[in-house]
Every structure is written in structure tokens, then in C-alpha cells.
Chain A
Amino acid sequence: MWTFFHKLGSPPWLYGISGSILRYLLPLTLLGLVVGAVWGLLYTSPDFRQGNSYRIIYIHVPSAVVALAGYYVMATAGAVSLIWKMKMADIAMKSCAPIGAALTFVALVTGAIWGKPTWGTWWVWDARITSMLILLFLYLGVIALYEAYDNKEAASKACAVLSLVGTVNIPIIYKSVDWWYSLHQPASIKFTGESTIHPSMLYPLLLMIICFYALFTCALLMNMRSEILSRERRTKWVRKLAAGEGN
């Protein structure tokens, strides 16, 4: 157990193992995304009330779900780096932010596009949508804050605090459709009780959610690898690696 944690803190080990994971996970993820998208776009019937516009669900819900989950990953990594000063946790936190921002952006944009034919408007200042916009600003805030400091340690500390404080927003997003009167429909998939979505629509949606999680993992590992190289550029193993790549 402890040797595992020890290894986890070792940059060359993490770089190597993440490379091996990516070699299988990345093609699998891309394949899954294509299958899920084709399934959702071509092989499901339209929603009886929303027609074909509902097909946006197969990218809107997964991106929103993973954008939220990614925030937990970022905040947890931030907490670990703050408490135990673990270098890899700091790298993980920094690497989460652009992915989370991108996924939140996708969720907001696809939501706006879905809103136009369904609600008749691109945008409403609704609790769910506004709290998602705050999530986007939190992610962007972490990115900007990291760049604002010259001192890496101070930057890492400030970002960890910001991401931890921002965690307050996450339950608000989850509960926003229940707490406030909202245009946004409540969740259709429930862990407890009956889901209010037909199985023929549920399965491709679940596949897409899984693939978006995998996509997040891939992008996170890739970001971490490039960040590891950048920080370890003066070390022997990175120089050796560069010498091998350069010819």
C-alpha cells in the first residue's frame, strides 16, 4: 500500500504507467464515443415531445456530468496538495482545470442549442444554467490564478484554496432543479427508484457517460504527462527521453 503511494509520487513511474494506460484507453474511448454518437443519432427513436432535438442529450448530459465529477477530482487533488504538499497532486489539479472548463463549455453550448427549439430561447438566467456558468468561471479562475503567480508554490496554494471553496457550487448545481422552479428538466436517471427514460435511450446515454469519463481520464493523463515533463526537464530521465525522441 505505502509503496504504491510512494510510486504515485514518482514522476518517471507515473509517466511510464500513464503512457501504457493511454495506449489502450485512448483508442477504446474514441471508439466508444463514435459508437455512442452513432447509436444516439441514428438508431434511437425521437422523443415523443421534443422530436429529434433531444438527440443532443447524448453529449449534453455526459459533458455536464463529467464536468461536475471533474471538479471533485480537481478539488480533491487540491486538498491533497495543500495538506501533504504532494507534487503529483498539484500537477493533477492543474491538469484538471482546462478539461473541466472545456466540458462545462460543451455542456453550456449544447444546452443553449437544445434550449432554442425546446424552450424557444438560447439562454435563461435559470438556477441550473447560472450555477453551471459559475462552474465554468471557477475552472477558468483556477487556470488564470495559476498563470498569475510567478511562484509555483504560491500559485498551487491559491488554486487549491479556490477550488476547495468552489466546491460549494457543486451541490447547488445538483439540487438546483429541485430547489428552484426551473425550465431545466430534473434528472431522468436515478440510482434509487425508476429512471424516467426509456431503456432504448438509456443505454446509449450510459455508454456516452462512461466514454466521457474515460475521455476525462485520458485528457487528464495526457495533460499530466506534459506537465511532468515540463517540471522535470532538468532531470536525467527526461533528458534521456528527449535524447531518444530527438533523433
Chain B
Amino acid sequence: MYFDSLEALLYMDGHGGFVWAAYAITLVVIVALLIAPRRRQKKLLAQLAGELRRERGAPSHSPTAVEGDTHASGS
């Protein structure tokens, strides 16, 4: 490791603020990039599941048509 101590790593001879800010912003953007489609997908599937339950007219009825479905595991 190049730095002797944690303080040296955080301070980086005065450049620490810049470096860490750049990495933090990048991290936030990457996390947002990966979470957004997951949330959209979850929301959509939940919404569709709700619609299906209402169509069947029985809210307590649990759907069974999942056997042999290779796509269900992929999400």
C-alpha cells in the first residue's frame, strides 16, 4: 500500500477532498444506474400481478401458473 496511515489516505497530500468527492459522486451514479431498472421492473410486475388477481375476481387466490417457466428465475 502506498499510504502509511488512514489519515494519509484520506488527506492525500491535500488532494483527498477532490479524489474522494469524485469517487463518491461516481459511486452514487453507478448505484442509481443499477437500481433504477430493478425498481421499475419490480413495480411493473407487482402492478401486473395485482391486475391479474383483480381479473380473476378472487383477491385471496394465489396464482399457480409458474411451473416450467424458465423466465421467472431470471429477475
Contact = CB atoms under 8 A, between A and B. Distances in A.
Interface in B9-62: 9, 12-16, 18-19, 21-23, 25-26, 29-30, 32-34, 36-38, 40-41, 44-46, 48-53, 62
Interface stretch (A134-142, A190-198, A223-231): A223-231
Main SS at interface, chain A: helix
A121 interface: no
Contacts of B30: 33, 215
A154 B20 CA distance: 44
A59 interface: yes
Nearest to A247: B62
Contacts of B2: 42-46
Which of A15, A33, A59, A105 has the largest number of chain B CB atoms within 10 A? A59
A146 B29 CA distance: 22
A246 B37 contact: no
6 closest cross-chain pairs (CB), A and B: A19-B74, A246-B49, A242-B48, A243-B63, A244-B66, A52-B12
Interface of B: 1-3, 9, 12-16, 18-19, 21-23, 25-26, 29-30, 32-34, 36-38, 40-41, 44-46, 48-53, 62-63, 65-66, 69-75
12 contacts: A42-B2, A98-B33, A102-B33, A113-B25, A114-B22, A116-B18, A219-B37, A222-B37, A222-B38, A240-B66, A241-B69, A243-B63
